[in-house]
Structure 1
Amino acid sequence: MKELGMARSDAERAVEAAIVQVEPWKGRRLSYRAVSGGISNTNFRIDVEGQDLGYFLKIPGRGTEMFIDRKAAAAASKQAEAIGVGPRTFDYLNHLDIEIAEFIEGRRPSTHRDFADPAIRNEAVRVYRHFHQAPALPLTKTVFDMIEEHFTQVRELGGYWPLDHDWLYRSYKQARAALEASGLDLVACFNDPMPGNFLIGDDKSIKLIDFEYASNNERLYDLAIWSGEMFFPEDIDCAIIEEYFGRYDKSQHARLIVHKALADIKWSTWAMVQNRVSTLHFDFYKYGIWKHMRARSIIHDPRWPLFLKAV
């Protein structure tokens, strides 16, 4: 742990400048340490003299204001707290768009292996369903909005386009047309299922953290992006649909598969934005071209036209 005056990096100087502005902490001895994980921001644990509670503080990464509405993220965090699926949050520095939440003890970040356990997987489905049943969020941002936003940003930044970008764009437009023709099922969505955003307890219960990308979005997109992030095969996708809805449905399965492709197009293009603006030590280019590759693998499936018809 470091104390005030010990900063050596820009991120540490930023966190020191922030924590001295928190009114309830003034006059207390403060210490902090970096917390690993996340590929958009720099994260810290804050300890305050005389308090047993630890705090989690997030310093926004460079350029993240291009695609993150932090007022909407704070509202989503508050809603998650209210319904019992997220940590306590504090509005100490909301005016600076700096998020502070409870540092949850007694839980660990998940790994991909955790979700091979049906009990943990079903608990995640329960948490998703609970979040989806909550009131609408103040921000509506569908996967279509996200993709169009990132396409525009890559174009303006002079970022990397894959050689088959035009084909990928046409495939996205076909999927969008099919989904919009069938009607969108918009609910409060998490939208960011990195393993580290699921905190697992000894009882296999789950808390969600990091609601920066939360918005009203297509229900099955939220399940599809989780499936893609965890590399679930189709038999697990079918089991998730049955667990979530109470029965398996072929059209819901098709819709989930289409959304898995859209999720990869969204995050591959997001990565090319980050590749141009981020100062974090992460290979966004490699991440993006891998996501492009997986989107292609889904769209090249001979069943893709049938999936589009079935949604």
Structure 2
Amino acid sequence: MSYGDDLTARLLGALATVGFDTNPEVELIVQGVASPSRLATEWAGFRVTAAGGSCYAKVLHADMAPLIDFQRAAQASECAGRTGAAPRLLGADKTGGVLIFEDLGTSWRAARLDDLLAPGLLDALWALKRCVHAGPAPDYACSPMADIERLRVRCRQDGVVLPAEHQWIDRCVDMVWLALQQRQVRVAPVHGDGVVSNVMVSSEGELRLVDFDYGGCMDPWYDVAITLNELYSFENQWREGIRAWAGECLEVDYAVCRLYALINDWYWTLWGFWSGTTSARQLEFSKVGQWTLLRCRQCVQDPRLEGWMRQVQEGKA
């Protein structure tokens, strides 16, 4: 059985399990693109059409199963779907690694960077993130640091060749995470991934959030930070984004965002190098790691890094 046939067989088995019409028409509608968008790199996306209607289904790639907690991804997706900020989850089949959602329709597509840089779109995106933060909460906390540790172990086990300075960056990331843990925060459900391809845009310019693999409950500023990190290259843009979120840009909030962005970038650096080493799929995983590594280097070399950590620990505005 070919790889594609295996994905389809798992999907058809899941559809039967949740009671979908027999003999549906299935179409692979999202081709994987690792760099720069991480589009469909962890799941294959299908549109399913039958007499009873249509749905959208995601099938987990087998090589990503060590990193994705299926049950948590399903629960976070279900909670987000209940807010209206994301498509509703219709069913989940853990055995096949399949999540089934309402179909947004053919007028929707994955966003590109230029879509989200259009005037007014950041406010719309922030509104969706706030809906998730205020919505039903999964019964677990998510931890980017736990995700990093899982990848550290995988990289060691699988003999992944990491950048020469990885031990130094690892130490910086550990110190940054420790500083962030000193904050008093009110945890909330989060999206957990800021990449632009995890936002859907319609032909009318509406937005929805998708892919809650890294969702759960934690500091909502994490969502702000990793979104800014994907959208903007310049400090003044970050500060404007923080003002749009919070009404003002306190120095401590800017520091928090920079530190969370480093944590997230290091995760995707390790992910890119690990996936590029272990996956048989012909995607440019390593390019993702090289790009986020560049951002990690810029952050750990920034002379303000220690000051940001002190600000966060002391809670100074």
TM-score (structure 2 length as normaliser)? 0.87
Secondary structure of the 1:207 match is strand
**SS of structure 1 residue aligned to 2:249:** coil
Q: Deviations over 1:54-110 (max 9, x none)?
A: 322222112322221111111111111111011122216345331111221222221
Aligned mates of 1:138, 1:268 — CA distance in 2: 28
Match of 1:142 in 2: 143
3-state SS, counterpart of residue 236 of structure 2 = helix
- Separation in 2, partners of 1:20, 1:41: 16
CA–CA distance in 1 between the matches of 2:24 and 2:65?
Answer: 31
The answer as to whether partners of 1:142 and 1:218 remain within 8 angstroms in 2 is no
Unaligned runs of 5+ in 2: 32-38, 313-317
Which residue is 2:11 aligned to? 18
Partners of 1:9 and 1:96 in 2: how far apart? 16
SS at match of 1:146: helix
1:281-308 alpha-carbon deviations (Å, 9 max, x no partner): 2122222122112111012112212211
**Structure 2 CA distance for partners of 1:286 and 1:200, relative to 1, 3 Å:** closer
Post-superposition shift, 1:168?
0.5
- CA distance 1:46–1:12, shift in 2 (3 Å): farther
Aligned to 1:5: none
Aligned to 2:25: 30
Provide the residue aligned with 1:101 in structure 2: 101
In structure 2, the residue matched to 1:204 is 205
Mapped to 2, the partners of 1:45 and 1:279 lie a distance apart of 25
TM alignment of 1:83-122, pairs within 5 A:
83-91=83-91, 93-105=93-105, 106-122=107-123
**Which stretch shows the higher mean deviation, 245-254 or 193-202?**
193-202
Q: 1:81 to 1:33 in 2, by over 3 A?
A: same
Q: Distance in 1 between matches of 2:22 and 2:155?
A: 46
Q: Return closer, same or farther for 1:218/1:29 CA change in 2, 3 Å cut-off.
A: closer
Indicate the residue corresponding to 2:255 in structure 1: 254
The answer to which of 77-86 and 275-284 deviates more is 275-284
How many residue pairs match? The answer is 302
Please tell me the residue identity of whatever aligns with 1:172.
V
| Shift in alpha-carbon separation, 1:280–1:34, aligned structure 2, 3 A | farther
CA distance in structure 1 between the aligned counterparts of 2:300 and 2:200, rounded to whole angstroms: 32
2-side partners of 1:66 and 1:95: how far apart? 14
What is aligned with 1:45? 47
Q: Tell me the secondary structure at the aligned position of residue 163 of structure 1.
A: coil
Give the Cα–Cα distance (whole angstroms) in 1 for the partners of residues 306 and 129 of structure 2.
Answer: 29
Give the secondary structure class of the aligned counterpart of 2:55. Answer: strand
Q: Distance in 2 between matches of 1:299 and 1:177?
A: 15
- What's the counterpart of residue 213 of structure 1? 214
Q: Aligned partner of 1:80: which letter?
A: A
Greater shift in the superposed pair: 91-100 or 152-161: 91-100
Change (3 A) 1:69 1:217: same
Q: Residue 128 of structure 2 corresponds to which residue in structure 1?
A: 127
Aligned to 1:4: none
1:283 and 1:66 map into 2 onto residues whose CA distance is 19
Distance, in Å, in 2 between the alignment partners of 1:307 and 1:221 is 15
Which residue identity does 2:99 align to in structure 1?
E
* Structure 1 segment 57-76 matched on structure 2, within 5 A: 57-76=57-76
CA contact (8 A) 1:62 1:279 kept: no
Q: Within 5 Å, give how 1:140-289 maps onto structure 2.
A: 140-289=141-290
1:102-145 per-position Cα deviation (integer Å, ceiling 9, x unaligned) = 22122222110122223111111111112112233223121221
CA apart distance, 1:256: 0.3
Distance 1:278 1:56, change over 3 A: farther
User: Which residue is 2:56 aligned to?
Assistant: 56
Return the alpha-carbon distance in structure 1 between the equivalents of residues 14 and 150 of structure 2. Answer: 34
Quick check: 2:152–2:270 contact (8 Å CA) kept in 1?
yes
AA aligned opposite 2:49: D
Q: Please state how far the C-alpha of 1:203 moved relative to its aligned partner.
A: 4.2
Q: Which amino acid aligns with 2:4?
A: A
What SS does structure 2 have at the residue aligned with 1:83? coil
Identity of aligned residues (%): 21
Post-superposition CA distance 1:128-172 (Å, at most 9, x none) = 112112233223121221212211211121112211112101111
Structure 2 residue identity aligned to 1:181: Q
CA gap 1:13/1:63 in 2 versus in 1, 3 angstroms: closer
Cα distance change on mapping 1:26 and 1:199 into 2, 3 Å = closer
Change (3 A) 1:81 1:30: same
